[in-house]
Amino acid sequence: MNSTTVSKINWTQAVAFFAMVATLFGIDVPDDIKLQLIAAIQALQSIITWVLHTWFPEVK
């Protein structure tokens, strides 16, 4: 297992978190568009995490 600072899955989660925060507070678009963007970010986060965990395991 890799350390937490080099884990691809941890970085995926962190990037998705900051993308969602930026969407909530940094983008001036209607609320329904923000909800769609957040849903899309969360869907991509889940898919990327699943792919990394399934096909690219971090074995040392």
pLDDT digits (tens, 9 = 90+) for 5-35: 778 999 999 999 999 999 999 989 999 999 9
pLDDT of 51 reads: 95
Residue 2 lies in a domain: no
pLDDT of 60 reads: 62
Residue 60 lies in a domain: no
Q: What domain range is 38 assigned to?
A: 8-55
Residue 12 lies in a domain: yes
Residue 3 lies in a domain: no
Residue 51 lies in a domain: yes
> Which pairs count as long-range contacts for 53-59, CB under 8 Å and 24+ apart, including other chains?
53/9, 56/8, 58/1, 58/2, 58/7, 58/8, 58/9, 59/1
Structural domains of the chain, count? 1
> Could you tell me the pTM of the whole model?
0.82
pLDDT at 2 over 80: no
